[in-house]
């Protein structure tokens, strides 16, 4: 009886196992058949195609930052970051003026990009690990090398950031500015009070009204915001730079075609300066025998085609917007009210950090 019972139990277990196995195979086949009948999920949007089909580039910029992005008396946006958007439009759409500008606060800039309200973010945005990974963005490179500094009133007789122990400091909320200041004061065992505002104009107005002892942001931003003060000459920017602020254009992740277009638009302006190709001589440079110039301007090679553009993409950038030096000087350099020296934003061959990979 024990042997017979044991065999019966064994047979029952085998039968149950085979039944479960066939059931799993049958269910797997059903799910596979159902999956084949369902429509495939749509692929991620191709921003380059969207922009070309739409006929305009949607670009997010800062809210009134002279020299970088600021509307003039006629409402026309000007500035270094604005010109980058115009360069992309020239490359992609053939016309640098086919851009719609959306002024964004530091708080709203990333939401606008994530939601697809803009195609490109070109405002003073620092390249950090969290923004490049956790937030789901890709940076196109460094358009402007900057660092955080402090502005104070001359009458305060403050000569160094070290003299700001116990001071109240105005800044923008939702920026690396707050974090850098916290790190600096903590490292140097100094006390301070941070007074933050969402909009840049609110921060500089509060400082101008005497609500805080100092105002801090990127050094370039201080030069720009000082122009808005009631008496700009009564304020001084302290010499210390307390952080690294590599500022550059930002796009959404997982769209490598668009990221390449944005990245190489920037490199094209730098390469043009390296090769002495300017908006004034670019037509004549079309006849150059220099292979590097010929590749840049589409006379040789397949660079434009490789990027999904035409042969004259870089020619239009330089002709309509200019090379990096031209863009810099007219907006924030010697030809502008800001008159910010190029410093580390010089070409690598002049002791700076600007360097364009080979265009070939």
Q: Is the residue at 83 inside a domain?
A: yes
Average pLDDT, the chain: 89
Mean pLDDT of 11-28: 43
> Is pLDDT of 17 > 60?
no
Confidence of residue 202 (pLDDT cuts 50, 70, 90): very high
Q: Do 304 and 342 belong together in one domain? A: yes
- 256-309 tens-digit pLDDT: 999 999 999 999 999 999 999 999 999 999 999 999 999 999 999 999 999 999
Count of structural domains, the chain:
2
- For 278, what's the count of Cα atoms within 13 Å in the CB-facing half-sphere? 8
Confidence of residue 35 (pLDDT cuts 50, 70, 90): very low
User: What pLDDT shows up at residue 175?
Assistant: 86
Q: Is the residue at 255 inside a domain?
A: yes
The runs of H, that is alpha helices, within the chain are 2-37, 47-54, 80-93, 109-114, 129-132, 176-187, 200-208, 219-226, 256-274, 282-285, 291-296, 303-306, 313-320, 324-331
Q: Do 133 and 269 belong together in one domain? A: yes
Dist. CA 120–CA 61, nearest whole Å: 9
Q: What is the CATH number of the domain that holds 317?
A: 3.40.190.10
User: What pLDDT shows up at residue 253?
Assistant: 95
Query: DSSP code of 40?
Result: P
Mean pLDDT of 17-44: 39
Q: Do 224 and 293 belong together in one domain? A: no
* Least confidently predicted of 157-161, 197-201, 351-355: 197-201
Last residue of a domain, one of 243, 260, 284: 243
Confidence of residue 6 (pLDDT cuts 50, 70, 90): very low
User: What pLDDT shows up at residue 174?
Assistant: 83
In contact, 273 and 314? CB cutoff 8 Å: no
Full domain range(s) for residue 114: 47-145+247-350
* Sign of CA pseudo-dihedral 166, 168, 172, 174: positive
In contact, 52 and 93? CB cutoff 8 Å: yes
User: What pLDDT shows up at residue 45?
Assistant: 59
> Is pLDDT of 31 > 80?
no
Provide DSSP, 187-211: HTT--EEEEEESSHHHHHHHHHTTS
Q: Is the residue at 93 inside a domain?
A: yes
Confidence of residue 248 (pLDDT cuts 50, 70, 90): very high
Last residue of a domain, one of 199, 221, 243: 243
Nearest residue to 191 (alpha-carbon basis) of 229, 162, 230, 155:
162
174 phi and psi, to 5 degrees? Answer: 75, 25
Q: Alpha carbon of 32 to those of 23, 35, 39, 324: distances in Å?
A: 14, 5, 13, 55
Query: DSSP code of 155?
Result: G
User: What pLDDT shows up at residue 4?
Assistant: 40
Dist. CA 25–CA 14, nearest whole Å: 17
Angle formed at CA 124 by CA 122 and CA 139, multiple of 5 degrees:
55
Using DSSP's 3-state secondary structure scheme, residue 127 falls into: coil
> Is pLDDT of 86 > 80?
yes
- 105-140 tens-digit pLDDT: 988 999 999 999 999 999 999 999 999 999 999 999
Q: Alpha carbon of 72 to those of 67, 78, 81: distances in Å?
A: 11, 7, 15
Dist. CA 197–CA 66, nearest whole Å: 19
Last residue of a domain, one of 191, 225, 243: 243
């Amino acid at each position: 009886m024990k042997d017979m019972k044991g065999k019966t139990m064994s047979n029952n277990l085998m039968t149950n196992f085979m039944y479960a196995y066939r059931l799993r195979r049958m269910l797997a086949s059903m799910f596979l058949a159902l999956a084949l009948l369902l429509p495939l999920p749509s692929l991620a949007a191709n921003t380059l195609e969207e922009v070309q089909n739409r006929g305009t580039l949607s670009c997010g910029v800062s809210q009134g930052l002279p020299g970088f992005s600021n509307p003039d008396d006629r409402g026309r946006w000007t500035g270094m970051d604005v010109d980058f958007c115009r360069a992309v439009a020239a490359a992609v759409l053939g016309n640098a003026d086919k851009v719609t500008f959306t002024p964004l606060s530091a708080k709203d800039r990333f939401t606008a990009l994530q939601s697809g309200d803009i195609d490109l973010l070109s405002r003073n945005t620092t390249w950090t690990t969290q923004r490049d990974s956790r937030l789901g963005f890709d940076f196109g490179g460094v358009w402007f090398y900057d660092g955080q500094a402090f502005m104070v009133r001359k009458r305060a007789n403050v000569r160094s950031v070290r003299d700001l122990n116990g001071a109240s400091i105005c800044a923008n909320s939702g920026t690396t500015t707050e974090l850098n200041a916290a790190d600096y004061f903590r490292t140097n065992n100094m006390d301070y009070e941070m007074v933050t505002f969402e909009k840049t104009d609110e921060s500089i107005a509060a400082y101008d009204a005497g609500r805080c002892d100092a105002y801090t942001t990127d050094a370039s931003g201080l030069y720009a915001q000082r122009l808005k003060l009631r008496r700009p000459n009564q304020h001084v920017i302290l010499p210390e730079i307390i952080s690294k602020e590599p500022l550059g254009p930002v796009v959404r992740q997982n769209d490598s075609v668009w990221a390449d277009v944005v990245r190489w638009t920037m490199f094209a302006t730098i390469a043009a300066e390296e090769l002495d190709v300017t908006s004034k001589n670019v037509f004549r440079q079309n006849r150059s025998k220099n292979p590097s110039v010929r590749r840049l301007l589409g006379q040789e090679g397949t660079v434009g085609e490789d990027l999904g553009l035409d042969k004259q993409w870089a020619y239009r950038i330089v002709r309509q917007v200019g090379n990096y030096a031209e863009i810099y000087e007219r907006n924030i350099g010697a030809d502008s009210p800001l008159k910010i020296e190029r410093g580390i934003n010089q070409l690598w061959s002049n002791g700076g950090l600007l360097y364009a990979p080979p265009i070939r």
